[in-house]
Amino acid sequence: MAATKPLKIVLFLGTVRENRLGLRVAKFMQNYLVKTGHDVDFMDAQELDLPLLKKPLHFYRDQSEAPPLLVDLGQRVKTADGYVMVSGEYNHSIPPALSNLLDYFPGSSFSYKPSAIVCYSPGQYGGMRAAIQLRALLGEIGCLSVSNIFGIPQANKSLDEEGNPQNDHMESGAKRLITQLDWHAHAMRNHRESVGIPK
């Protein structure tokens, strides 16, 4: 498998809060993905600064009338081989900055590809309740979330501000998750290239 073209992974960070912990989680995952040979495209809700969704990309009949940033993002989402979602948890639910970002794009851009959920919290449950809601959302948009969910409790202690791991669980957790993502991403990419996708 040596000469395999790298997997293109879009890494979503869905929080715009002051002092957000998610950035250190995203940095850690970005580092891990680069280190393990992925082609990483980092989409940070804060940097993108998209407003609450008034009109998704696929609702513009004439795509030339859509905001250029959105068209560009849509193209990058569409050409990815898989997705990593870095999600906090607000009130046991998906952070609105994350669902808002994902809702901009049509399900067809995500379909027949896998996704991986990394959830975190400052507390002990690691954002697992939001992760389960996110699994429902990801299923609906077509990028099936792999079995493992990488939960990071006490994210402020597990990672420093640059995303450097502060304990041994971080590397092994990322490895377990990304191994599953890679397997499914290769399986699906091979099959897309071999037979296309339905319809």
- Which chain residues interact with its own copies by CB under 8 A? 1, 16-18, 45, 51-55, 59, 90-97, 99-100, 102-103, 107, 111-112, 114, 124-126, 128-129, 132-133, 135-137, 139-142, 144-147, 151, 153, 179-180, 183-184, 186-188, 190-191, 194-195, 197-199
How near is the Cβ of 128 to its own copies at its closest, in Å?
Answer: 5
Closest CA to 12 of 39, 56, 45: 45
Q: Which CB, 40 or 116, lies closer to its own copies?
A: 116
d(C-alpha 119, C-alpha 163), whole Å: 14
Q: In what order do the strands lie in the sheet with 8-13?
A: 39-44, 8-13, 82-87, 113-120, 143-152
Residue 133: C-alpha distances to residues 23, 79, 82 (Å): 21, 25, 19
Q: Which CB, 14 or 165, lies closer to its own copies?
A: 14
Q: Which CB, 49 or 64, lies closer to its own copies?
A: 49
**Residue 25: both structure tokens together:** 């989680």
Q: Which CB, 42 or 125, lies closer to its own copies?
A: 125
Which residue, chain included where needed, has tokens 């569409």? 78
How near is the Cβ of 185 to its own copies at its closest, in Å?
Answer: 10
How near is the Cβ of 58 to its own copies at its closest, in Å?
Answer: 13
3-state secondary structure of 71: helix
How near is the Cβ of 68 to its own copies at its closest, in Å?
Answer: 19
